[in-house]
Structure 1
């Protein structure tokens, strides 16, 4: 049955599984720190992470880690073959990687906005932000209330700097959104929805919820805005290609 999956979808699934096995069983957590996508202004960021993060999933040691890759691969197996056959291998491959890039861009654009807001608050409290970012040992100042607030703000910046993005979901969100754009009347079943629902109704709900969770900070450790970035790129590409869908092959 696996051999019947079109080659690009099959190879993407194989690469994701191989990366997951290697990162969890051979060089954990070293490879997670090398291949996951860090904030571009973090000292942990490496240029290749822009690509490698698209094949990363939550560690097996974390709650729900194995379910993360299982759900993603089942999703790719469900939607990928149809798109690969209708778009052709080249455009399907572009879709996957472009969605991953969009995921990385939007997620870190929001991180940048948050860092700027935090930086402004720290400056208003008299904290030497420029010296801090240059690596100097900067002390806190002011009264007890100000010091407590500065500590909390610095912890927020540190969290952004040291928390990596495992972004396969962003690329896969792009694939699913492209499917919903090209085949809006297709019906799918969800575990928590007992009846088939058309993807043109389901996907907007999923995107709106993801935006809310990402902006509100109630995402529970999930990079919801990364999903939105991937979905946005998938939607744009599908809208462009939809006009010429039957000319690809």
Structure 2
């Protein structure tokens, strides 16, 4: 599939940031998403304690960083961007598609901040484009509900709508039960929530009442 411009550039950005993380390491820590309360991360060269806390720009920058200790995090988000993002961009156009993705990333960050404030024992840095990817998955399932898609692991075919429902339900279940604690499940759900709200806004549906110019997806 030919990748449209915005999706292609997003893939390049997350790949280049991943490479930068390999070389710069801790220097990029201020661009991760940190909780409101400062978190101790070590001692500086002067022997004084160093801590990290929330800064507004982190709601955007964290979404372009990935776990630098392995390739899986970047790989699966990149595959999802390729599979779902390109198709949505072709339907929506670059500007609307980029707006949607960034709103989902920021919304996912807001929900993760709320969760870390509610459960401070879980507080720590959050990185990854998964919130934006989950928003794209939701939109894809709404726009192409009957289209067959194939999971990578395990390789099971299912409709796009079913895939979105399954991934959303799994994130909710694992978030509530604390399963796979190293994964920001509520950020995933936040990406879906804000994506759904933006689609409702574009469509003029409750809780928004005024019809916006142009259809959201068709």
Partners of 1:36 and 1:246 in 2: how far apart?
31
Distance 1:81 1:38, change over 3 A: same
Higher radius of gyration, 1 or 2: 1
Partners of 1:216 and 1:5 in 2: how far apart?
38
TM-score after normalising by structure 1: 0.72
Residues 1:232 and 2:202 are matched in the alignment: no
**Residue in structure 2 matching 1:48, options 44, 50, 57:** 57
Contact 2:131 2:187 in 1 (8 A): yes
Report which of the two has the higher share of helix.
Answer: 1
**Residue in structure 2 matching 1:187, options 148, 159, 177:** 148
Secondary structure at the aligned position of 2:158 is classed as strand
Q: How many aligned residue pairs are there?
A: 196
Counting only pairs closer than 5 Å after superposition, residues 118-197 of structure 1 correspond to structure 2 as 156=121, 160=123, 163-197=124-158
Distance 1:28 1:247, change over 3 A: closer
Contact 1:167 1:226 in 2 (8 A): no
Contact 1:188 1:196 in 2 (8 A): yes
Task: Give RMSD over aligned pairs.
Answer: 2.1
Distance 1:247 1:19, change over 3 A: closer
Residues 1:113 and 2:118 are matched in the alignment: yes
Distance 1:246 1:212, change over 3 A: closer
Contact 1:181 1:235 in 2 (8 A): no
- Residue ranges of structure 2 left out of the alignment (5+ in a row): 39-50, 205-213
- Residue 30 of structure 2 corresponds to which residue in structure 1? 34
- Residue 47 of structure 2 corresponds to which residue in structure 1? none
- Residue 145 of structure 1 corresponds to which residue in structure 2? none
- Residue ranges of structure 1 left out of the alignment (5+ in a row): 116-155
Secondary structure at the aligned position of 2:102 is classed as helix
Secondary structure at the aligned position of 2:71 is classed as helix
Give runs of ≥4 in structure 1 deviating > 6 Å. Answer: none
